[in-house]
Structure 1
C-alpha cells in the first residue's frame, strides 16, 4: 500500500484539475454531464487507479491522499470532486470480483473508469454460468463517461436477501438522461437501465462482501474496510471542498467591508466578523473529524462495528457543520453572492445536494452509533 507520505499523482495534479473543472463548470452544468476533458484529466492523474492493487498496476492509494485531492478539486467544482471519490469507491468495490473478473476488468490497464449503483434496484435470474440482469438504477454518477457499471440486484425468487453486484460493460446499458437536481448538476448522475443482459459469474460477487463487516474480505491494501465504513466519509469530501471554496469566494465579496474601521465599534464589521469566525471554525472542525477518519481507516488492521458506526456519526455531523457554515456565508453574501454568475451560489447548491444524501442524515447515524456503543458495552 502506498504510504501517506509517498507522492500521489492525483494529489500533485489536483490543483490543475480543480482550476480546469471550475472554469468549465457552467458548461458542464448546462450539459448535465461531466466535462470530457476534465474526466480525461482525472483518469490520467490516477482517479480510476487510486485503489487498484499494485499487483495489477494500480496506485494502491490511501484515503488520506484521496481526501487531499478531492477537497482541493471540490473547492472549485464539488461535482468533479464527487466524480473523483465515486470513481475511487467503485474501483475499490470491483476488487471483490473473482480473480478472473479482475483480470478482465483491468486487462487494458488500471485506468478503467467504473461507475455504479449499489442500491438493489434490479433483479438477477440465475442461468448456467451467470445471471440475466434487468432493472433501472437512478443517480449513477458520470454514467455517460464510464467504461463499466457496477449494478446491485436481488436474485429472482428470493425474499430480498442475497443481493449480488454485477459488473456490466457500459456498451450494454442504456443511459436515460433523468438527472435534474438543482445542485451537483455536472456529476451527470443519470439513470442506468439494462434488460436481460447476461453477466458471467466471473463478473459478479455477493453484495455482502462489499457491505458486511463480518463477511467482507481484505481489500486491495490487504485490510478489511467495508463500504459502510467509508462511503459517508467519501461523500463528505466534496462538501468540505465546497465549504473551503465558499469561504474563499465570500472573503473576496466582503473583504473590503472587513477591512474598514470607520470607528471604534462598527456593527457591520462585527456582523461580518462573526460570520467569518463561526463559519471558518465549523469548517476547520469538520476537517479535523475527517482527518481522524482518514488516518484511522488508513492504519487500523481492521475496522470494528463501533468504528463503522462512529465514522457514520461523525460524517453526518460533519455534513451538518458544513451546511450550516455555507448557509451562513450565503446569507451574508448580499445580492452579489446570489447572482447566477457567482461561483458561491453554485457551491451552495452543490453542497446542499450532496448533504441531502440518505447516508448523511444525522438521526439514523446517531441511532446506529448509540446501538453499537450500548450493545458493545453490555
Structure 2
C-alpha cells in the first residue's frame, strides 16, 4: 500500500497536468489490490472489509486524491458486480480478480428495452470516474417499456463504449470522470441486475458481509476516504509553512491566531477520521439495520464537511506562496472541496433518513 501512495504522490503533478492517472500510478494501485478487494473468493478476490479499504484509500489520498478516488471506486464497483448472476461474474473475473470496473449509476441515463435473452442498451452517461483505465463498465438505465421505468444495471466491456473527454474540474482533476456513449448493444441477462438489488445488498444468509451490506451503509465512508487522506496531507504541508520563519525571523505559528486555526483544523481532521473509522467498523461487524445505515450516512456527510471546513481554514490562513495554484496545498484543498460537493455526500437526504430512522425505531443511534 505504501508503494501505491508513494507512486501516486510522485506522479501527482503529471496526473494533474494530463487530467488522468499515470500508468505507473494505475499499476501501483492494481498491485495494492483495490480492484480485487471485494471480489468473491471463488474468483480469487479478497472479500475484504470496509475498514481495510477505507484506510488504504486514505493512505493513497495523502499522495493523490484522484488516485485514491479511482482506487476506492474500482473496489466498490467490484462489490456491485459481485451481485450479478454467476455467468456474468465469470465473464468479468474468469481470468483473474484484478479487473478495474468503472460505473455510471446515479443518475441513471440512456434506455434499456427487453429483447430475446437480454436487453438492448444505449445512451450517454456522465461522470464515469476511472474509465480511461477500466476494463468493464457498470451502466444504469431505466427500462423503457415498463411502467414506472424501473432502473437496471448492465455490465458492458469497456471497449464497447466511446469516451468523450469532458472532465476538466478544479478538483479531482486526474480522475478522468468523462462521458461515455454506448451505441445500441445487446446485453445478456447474465450481465444485468436491478439497481434496487445493488442498493439493498445480498440478503442471502450465506453472503459475505461485504456483499450483504446495503450501499448506503458503507458508500459514503468510501467516498470520504480520499478526502481524509488529502486533508491529513494538507495539514502536514501547512505545518511546514507555519514553522518556517518569515523575513524578520517570526514564524506564522508564533502568532496566536494561527495557533488557534491550527488547533481547530487538526481537531476537525482527526475527529472526522475517527468518526469514519467507527462507521467502517459498524459496516463490517454491526447489525445491518435501517438505523445503522442512517447513522453511517449522517456521519459520512458531517465528516466530509468537517474535512472541507478544516482544509479551507488552513488554505485561507496560508501565505500567498502557499496558495499558489500549482502548489501542493492548493491541490489538496480543491480535491477535498470537490469530494465534499459530491451528491452522495449531501447532508439533506442523510439527515432526513436519520430522522426517519429515529421515528421508526423509537430513538437512539445504532
1:84 aligns with 2:71: yes
1:269 aligns with 2:255: yes
Contact 1:209 1:216 in 2 (8 A): no
Shift of 1:134: 0.8
CA distance in 2, matches of 1:261, 1:288: 37
Contact 1:209 1:217 in 2 (8 A): no
CA distance in 2, matches of 1:158, 1:257: 68
Distance change in 2, residues 1:201/1:172 (3 Å)? same
Question: For this pair of structures, how many residues does the alignment match?
Answer: 360
1:236 aligns with 2:224: yes
Task: Pick one of 120, 140, 160 that aligns with 1:172.
Answer: 160
Distance change in 2, residues 1:376/1:88 (3 Å)? same
SS in 1 for 2:325: coil
1:41 aligns with 2:28: yes
Q: CA offsets per residue over residues 177-215 of structure 1, 9 Å max, x none?
A: 1001111000010011112111111011111111137x7
For 1:351, the equivalent position in structure 2 comes to: 336
For 2:50, the equivalent position in structure 1 comes to: 63
CA distance in 2, matches of 1:50, 1:197: 30
For 1:10, the equivalent position in structure 2 comes to: none
Alignment of 1:122-133 (within 5 A): 122-133=110-121
Distance change in 2, residues 1:336/1:261 (3 Å)? closer
1:136 aligns with 2:124: yes
Task: Pick one of 288, 301, 304 that aligns with 2:274.
Answer: 288
Shift of 1:363: 2.2
For 1:193, the equivalent position in structure 2 comes to: 181
For 2:9, the equivalent position in structure 1 comes to: 22
For 1:9, the equivalent position in structure 2 comes to: none
For 1:105, the equivalent position in structure 2 comes to: 92
Distance change in 2, residues 1:79/1:261 (3 Å)? same
SS in 2 for 1:75: helix
Structure 1: 4+ residue segments shifted above 3 A = 215-223
CA distance in 2, matches of 1:297, 1:136: 33
For 2:356, the equivalent position in structure 1 comes to: 371
For 1:7, the equivalent position in structure 2 comes to: none
Gaps of 5+ in 2: none
For 1:246, the equivalent position in structure 2 comes to: 234
SS in 2 for 1:181: coil
Alignment of 1:153-172 (within 5 A): 153-172=141-160
CA distance in 1, matches of 2:137, 2:41: 22
SS in 2 for 1:144: helix
CA distance in 2, matches of 1:305, 1:21: 37
Shift of 1:267: 9.3
CA RMSD of aligned residues (A): 2.1
For 1:150, the equivalent position in structure 2 comes to: 138
Q: Which segment drifts farther, 315-324 or 367-376?
A: 367-376
TM-score (norm 2): 0.93
Distance change in 2, residues 1:109/1:267 (3 Å)? closer
Contact 1:210 1:216 in 2 (8 A): no
Contact 1:122 1:133 in 2 (8 A): yes
